Amino acid sequence: MSDMYLIWTAVGSILLLLFLVMKARLHAVIALILVSMVAGIATGMSPADINKTIQEGMAGTLGFIAVVVSLGSMFGRVMEQTGALDVIGQTLVRKVGQKYTPWAVGLTGLICALPLFFDVAVVLLIGLVFATARRGGGTVTANGCALLAGIAACQAYLIPTAGPILVASQLGADFGYVIPFGILAAVPAMILAGPIYGNWISKRVEMPLPPLKGKECAGECASDQEIPPTFGLALGLILLPLIMIGLKSIALHFIASTSPMYAWFEFIGHPFTAILVACFMAFYLLGFRRGLSKQEVMDICSSALQPAGVIILVTGAGGVFKQVLVDSGVGQAVGDFLAQYDLSVVVLAFLFAGFVRVIQGSATVAMLTAVGLIQPMLEPMHLSGAELAVVTIAIGGGAKLLSHVNDSGFWLANRYLNLTEKQTLQTWTVTDTIVGLTGFCVALVIFSFI
């Protein structure tokens, strides 16, 4: 099949998917799997291969997402119902003022997401959006866009997050340039996509503030259960998994891979271990130690798993669609199509990543695919380490374009912020795209000076 046929088949599949989810109101899980089958047949995959790809796509996605979302949801619900998140929100609003709360939330997302995967960062930090809004510090829309913009900008441009560091290492870029160039791209991207766009769209899209199910102490507190946790304890619990993951990233640079300590740091700093430890600490310090029974703590956890299950299934179905498009050769077809035009390597890198992101959903896969497509073109050009660092930033920007219903980030924003699909496109999709376009513009400016 020709490259153009594969590309137009992918475009048609995306349009069909949007129609089924937004107009026909078909459940996202069913729509994603149905369109995956249609796309597989249309691109010439055998029926047996389609079923195998569906299985691999679901399993490959859920292997990480299911554990992270489940543990993170329980951790977040305990933090919410015991008043820990409310304490953080109240303190944050008091320190920076109501007017600047979205800026503080966006900066929190930008910094705290450094050692995390995107999904982990969203699950751990999303409670701050509601906690600050309850205290009058901005709306849910403004704070939500700010947090997501901060996390997205971090994941696109900053080391040591997985995507940028993998791209930079494979391209052979100079990390001494990737770090400052990444900061130059990430900070304005967070500001434009978060506080500024969030404030504008908050006047047009209203995100609901869910009822607070935890206990608040309005006057004299009769028991330890009614006394809010201290700010230090609440903040420490949120920082605990971040510190564990961050220490692993640092320690592994100084320990030989053959050392037994290397394996232990890998284990301790893995998101599974870090969030599980945070859960147990929250159970004890916010639950048992403050008078809650084991059954009460487990009831809180159970209440978190029902909405988490929907997120997990939708995200897994998105992985199915991604895998079908990858296995059908659409990514390679996009690369061959763009390569025939005489464009700057920065523009090409951005477009490669952008096209693959729109077609298959995953930002990380888009970044790595773009590297594979652009590398053969870079080898005869003998670019410097600084120039390759700019290409790294351009790829990160392209991988943030037009997140929609085949992206797990779209459904995390949709479910956790309780949005319709249209509202998710208006908020998260535009926020993520602004992050990408801002970084691309910064990359073009830097490339023109080096």
Every domain of the chain and the residues it spans = 3-207+227-449
* Contacts of residue 371, Cβ cutoff 8 Å, sequence gap at least 6: 166, 167, 170, 171, 395
Residues 161/155, Cβ–Cβ less than 8 Å: yes
Q: For residue 221, what pLDDT is reported?
A: 45
Q: For residue 191, what pLDDT is reported?
A: 94
Dihedrals phi, psi of 203, to nearest 5 degrees: -80, -10
HSE-up of residue 88 (Cα within 13 Å, Cβ side): 24
Q: For residue 216, what pLDDT is reported?
A: 47
Residues 151/113, Cβ–Cβ less than 8 Å: yes
Low-confidence ranges of the chain (pLDDT < 50): 214-223
Q: For residue 311, what pLDDT is reported?
A: 65
Strands (E), 204-356: none
Q: How far apart are CA 171 and CA 163, in angstroms?
A: 12
> What is 93-137 written as a DSSP string?
HHHH-GGGHHHHHHHHHHHHTTTS-HHHHHHHHTHHHHHHHHTTS
Q: How far apart are CA 298 and CA 302, in angstroms?
A: 6
Q: What is the pTM of this model?
A: 0.68
Omega into 228 within 30° of 0, i.e. cis? no
Q: How far apart are CA 179 and CA 150, in angstroms?
A: 16
Q: How far apart are CA 49 and CA 267, in angstroms?
A: 35
Q: For residue 213, what pLDDT is reported?
A: 54
Q: For residue 339, what pLDDT is reported?
A: 64
For 63-81, write each residue's pLDDT tens digit.
777 787 788 778 877 877 7
What's at 165, amino acid-wise? I
For 336-356, write each residue's pLDDT tens digit.
676 676 678 888 889 888 887
From the list 99, 102, 113, 128, the residue with the least C-alpha distance to 194 is: 102
